[in-house]
Structure 1
Amino acid sequence: MVSHRLRLRLALLLCLMSVFSGTVLLVLMWALPRTSSIGRQTTVVGEFHPEMAVPIGDPDPDLTLPAVALALLAVITLALGWAVAGRLLHPVRTMTDRLRHISERNVHERLSVTGPRDELKDLADTVDGLLGRLDRAFDSQKRFVANAAHELRTPLTVEHALLEEPLIDANATVESYRENFERLLAISDQRARLLESLLTLASSENGRIAGTPIDLGTVLTTVLNDRDTSGLRVTTKIAPAWIIGDPALIERLVANLCDNAIHYNVPGGAIEAETRRGSLAIANTGPSVPAEQVDRLFEPFHRLHRVADDGHQGLGLSIVRAIATAHEAKTTARPRPDGGLSITVTFPVD
């Protein structure tokens, strides 16, 4: 059932404006003659003759006909207001009908309202922009679920093969069992890290951030000291960089950046890490990164040189961006001319 509340309100508003204006006019018609007759004095010179008197107007004019006209005006204005309001609200009803038929299956459709740029056109363009963002979010979610299912299915397949191998091998030894169990433990640890990364990514995208003062320089120093950087030249420029955020998520962000710089490096390569007011920058040497591939590195499960069993799920930089976004920080990345990547995270500073 179509609701016409707004249309009725607009029509009543136009009607009330007309009735109010007409009432003010009637009041003036009643008050002006009385005002003009009050205090009026007539001086008679000579002999007064009543037949020579000039009428000065009725102080109480008959307002019956104007009142009837005002009532008719109210009815006519209400009808016209109803028609005009319907005409004005027709684009809104059209947009509402089209939006009712848009769901997750056809979120790619748009209102595409044409015509001069006015408030309704701006509203339609805003809704189209929202639909576009929802479309991209749904696509990203579908890709994420598909990639997550693939990443979880692969270790399950390997586990099944490792468990089945000694059962079908009549000559299996204790050493082969031990070797398979060690590989199963490694796969289980890898899957646990994947689930932990997925949970971190989901929690950071919720945007529930606790406000705690954190020094990025201290966090960076602690993380680097806990990492094995043998064979790499590490250069640091640590300056106080206080921000407000969640300590656990910020530590995860810095750890992921450092792990990415260490893992995707070359033997004898270098890592440069710097903190300054409200920002953290980490650069490394490594394989050449095409400029058009930089943004895709921050998508879940995307790796530039994909290796299935390298122990990395391709969630590191996507978690970095999700945590940065939750802290209203800006993440920028650019490829280095000689190979490698430079990533800077800039946090808002009061």
Structure 2
Amino acid sequence: MPATERPRLRGRLALAYAAAAVVLGAVPVAVVGLGLWTGRSTQAVGATADAFTGGNTGQVLLAVVAGLVVVALVAAPVGWALAGRALRPLREVTAAAGAATADRLPGHGALGRYAEFAELSATLAGLYRRLDSAYAAQRRFVADASHELRTPLTVQRALIQVALADPAADAASLRAVCAELLRVGEQQERLVAALLALARGQQGLAAQEPVDLAAVAASAIGSSVVSADLRPALVARADPTLVASLVGNLVDNALRHNVDGGRVDVSTGCSGTRAVLVVANTGPVVPADAVDRILEPFQRLRGAGGSGLGLAIVRAVADSHDADLSVVPNPGGGLTVTVGFPAAGLPV
């Protein structure tokens, strides 16, 4: 039913107040009237009625009925005013929400004098803070993605313009330009795939089923030169695609950001209430104060390649699964990344 066709709560409350006042006033009158008309009222009731009526019962009842009508007429506007006062905080919330935009979310303190409105206010304030944080992250992401996608497009255009402007260009030089364009295009494909993986990780779980980290890690490692200790580690409720993306990005990062002859260790297992994945490598030294930065999208260490999205994807997927994420620089270089998911077979 459209909102415009639904009854207004204020009108219903006003009618309820008026009806309650009339009913509460009519009950004692009905009791007295019944006794007077049937002659079976108690002596006390009869004495009281005679005192007030002087034997004129009909006029008394008529006056009482008129009084109830007056009460109803008075109770309706009074109930309307009381209902309006009680619902004022809801109108404030509605007005604030209606004026909200992505760039300007409402902020307010506790509404009304009662605990129910204070709880509603606190809940909405928390929601607005989360939305504000999400909008800010979205704006940063769009700005960074625009910059990252603009760079390879600029390179491609420059390569084509140089080739077209060279009157002495031969087949060999044109083939070299085409090869470079293909390489830049592949970079764009990887970047777009990483952006989609990050966006999906931030959206939450599309599926929830048990997932064995050992099986996912074995698939991600494949034929890579990796030291693996894969013990069963069953995640209670997970999106298999997102978990595969998390493990794949960790393994790919460990292999990519490594030194010649370096080592990559991957292990899975259970620890307490967690199904744990650990990926460690012996890459270049990572400053401790750089860890928070490289978990953000498009942030890289100096001299590092890649899209700068690998660890951001890992964090987004971990957050969507309520998993613990620990990124610790190794003293000799590289990182040890530990992800602890809620394990299966445990009380929820």
The residue matched to 2:327 in structure 1 has which SS?
A: strand
Give aligned-pair identity as a percent: 38
> Out of 3, 25, 29, which is 1:26 matched to?
29
CA 148–90 in structure 1, closer or farther in 2 if over 3 Å, else same: same
Q: TM-score, normalised by structure 1?
A: 0.79
The residue matched to 1:152 in structure 2 has which SS?
A: helix
- The C-alpha deviation readout for 1:19-58, integer Å capped at 9, x for no partner, is 2212222222234567884799xxxxxxxxxxxxx99968
Q: Is 1:85 the equivalent of 2:99?
A: no
The residue that corresponds to 2:282 in the other structure is 285
CA 274–66 in structure 1, closer or farther in 2 if over 3 Å, else same: same
The residue that corresponds to 1:241 in the other structure is 233
> Out of 301, 314, 318, which is 2:308 matched to?
314
- Measure how far apart 1:154 and its partner are: 0.8
> Out of 103, 106, 109, which is 1:105 matched to?
103
| Structure 2 unaligned blocks of 5 or more | none
Q: Is 1:140 the equivalent of 2:137?
A: yes
- Measure how far apart 1:65 and its partner are: 2.1
| Structure 1 unaligned blocks of 5 or more | 41-53
| AA aligned opposite 2:234 | W
- How do 1:1-350 and structure 2 match up within 5 A? 5-32=8-35, 37=40, 62-107=60-105, 109-113=106-110, 118-207=115-204, 209-227=206-224, 229=225, 234-243=226-235, 244-277=237-270, 278-305=275-302, 307=304, 310=305, 312-326=306-320, 328-336=321-329, 338=331, 339-348=333-342, 349-350=344-345
- The C-alpha deviation readout for 1:105-158, integer Å capped at 9, x for no partner, is 323x41344776732232223222222222221221122122111111111111
The residue matched to 2:119 in structure 1 has which SS?
A: helix
The residue matched to 2:231 in structure 1 has which SS?
A: coil
CA 320–334 in structure 1, closer or farther in 2 if over 3 Å, else same: closer
| Aligned-CA RMSD value | 3.3
* CA distance in 1: counterparts of 2:199 and 2:11, whole angstroms: 46
Give 1 or 2 for the bigger CA radius of gyration: 1
| AA aligned opposite 1:166 | A
CA 23–179 in structure 1, closer or farther in 2 if over 3 Å, else same: same
* CA distance in 2: counterparts of 1:55 and 1:11, whole angstroms: 34
* CA distance in 2: counterparts of 1:24 and 1:344, whole angstroms: 72
* CA distance in 1: counterparts of 2:251 and 2:128, whole angstroms: 37
- Measure how far apart 1:181 and its partner are: 2.1
- Measure how far apart 1:287 and its partner are: 4.1
The count of residues paired between Structure 1 and Structure 2 equals 326
- Measure how far apart 1:189 and its partner are: 0.9
The residue matched to 1:347 in structure 2 has which SS?
A: strand
CA 102–306 in structure 1, closer or farther in 2 if over 3 Å, else same: farther
